Structure formats: structure tokens, C-alpha cells
Amino acid sequence: MKTVRTPQLLTDLYRDLRDRRLLVPALALVAALIAVPMALSSSATPSPTAPVTAPAASAPGEETAAEPAVLTRQLGVTDYRKRLERLKGKNPFRQQFTLPEVTSKVQQSSLNEPSGVTTSGGGSTSTSSTDQTASTATTSPETTTSPSSEPSGGAQKPTTTTEVILRRIDVKVGPEGDLVKETGVKQLKMLPSSTTPVVIFLGTSESGGRAFFLVSSDVTAVSGDGACLATTPTCQVLTLKVGETASFDYAPDTLTYKLRLLAIRDVVVKKTHG
């Protein structure tokens, strides 16, 4: 009879478990591996159950405690594309509205013409605002601006004219009995002449009512109309109104000179068009 020889692997495993005192736990683990599946398979067999009987129909309008309350759920839009439709961005370069339909010429003119412009039946246009140009003026020199426009019939283009205005005087001056008329006398001009500078024209007042003259230091006496502005014994600055006359005793030639103020005028000395 042949003897069954135990494999060397099992022999070594047995000795190792015995030396480590793990032989009993190993046998218990093997037994559990066999018993647990058998127990689970026996408990999984279904047991017969009693058929469920439908509850007896109750009369209309009667409610019982066993009757569950059923709520009907209202489902919204289930298509995700429809729900996300409102989140789409709008193209800023595409017109998002439509213009109203033009039904008459009056509506057409109100859509095409800017505010402040009205259209008449003949086709002429008028604006509510007018072009205005400012004018400025100074005492001496003075500058004024006057508006001018092109003839009607074409597009009107406003232009400006600039004028430089200076103050001038007209006088009669000279030795007594031999007066000479001088017109357009400028500021700082010597009267009656540069060789005989009895007085020098300084200018006028801001309102143009008086003229101022610087009296030469060679004048020994001043008489006649006008007013002397100096507080010194000799008159140094004399003022005259239109129509007044003053006399001056000039020492170098021992003659008496007279000066009569005839007019104070504003003269345009320069004009430019812009």
C-alpha cells in the first residue's frame, strides 16, 4: 500500500503555525470561511407572504386615516436648452429694435432733421438760434467787431470785422492873432510845433469829455479857460473841454500863444476782416 506523502509546503506551514502558536486561530478561520457562506445561503430563501388586498372603496367625500395624501408636483421646463435660452448674450453690433414706420412727410422731417430746425412748405429752413458776434471797445486804442454775412440764397457763413479805434483831437493853436487849425492831433504831439513846444497833447479822459496837455516849463503864465491839475505855483498839466481856450506866455520868444479845443473824435486807424 502506497503511503501518501504530505507536500513539503504544507509540512513547513504546519510547523510554522505550531511554533508561533497560531494553529488554533488558523483552524477557526478556515471553519468560519466554510460556515458563513452556508448560513447566508440558507437565510436568503424567500418566505411566502400574504397577498396584499386593496382597501375597500369608501363613499365619495369620506376620508380615512389610512388614506395617504398625494401631492402633485408641477414640473417646469425640463429641457435645459430652454432654461439656458435667457442667459444668452446679445450681440452689441446687431440692431435690437426696429424704427417706427414713417407714414407722412411730417414724420419723415421730424426723424431726419435736428432739433431747433423747422421746415416750411417751400423748402426753406429756419433755425431758432442766431449767430452773434461780440464787439469790444477800449478807450485808447479801441477795438470793435462788427458782424457781416454773405448775401442770401446760399449757405450763410458769419464773418467778423475788427476795427482799431484811437482818440484824436482837433484844435486851433498859434501866436495870438495867427491861429492855425490842426486836425487829427495824435498823442504826445508838440503844439504848435516841435520847434516851439508850448504844450504836448497827452490824451483824453475815459469818457472823452476832456483833453489833457502837458505845459512846457518855459511857460511863465497860463490864463483863460480850463483847469490846472498841478498844485505847484506853475501850471504843469492843463485840461480843456470842447470849445474852451487857454493862453500861454512863452518865455523864449516872449510871445503869447493860444490853444482852442475844437473836437474830440474817435478815428478808425485799422480794419481787418476775419
CATH code where residue 182 lies? 2.60.200
pLDDT recorded at residue 261: 96
Cβ neighbours for 58, distance < 8 A, ≥ 6 positions apart: 64, 67
Q: Determine, yes or no, domain membership for 182.
A: yes
pTM metric for this prediction: 0.44
Q: Determine, yes or no, domain membership for 235.
A: yes
Q: Determine, yes or no, domain membership for 238.
A: yes
How many separate domains does the chain show? 1
Segment 152-170, tens digit of pLDDT: 555 677 888 888 889 999 9
Q: Determine, yes or no, domain membership for 225.
A: yes
pLDDT recorded at residue 27: 87
| Residue 133 scores a pLDDT above 60 | no
Domain residues for the domain of 214 are: 169-264
Using an 8 Å Cβ cutoff, are 22 and 29 in contact? no
Whether the bond into 100 is cis, omega within 30 of 0: no
Q: Determine, yes or no, domain membership for 255.
A: yes
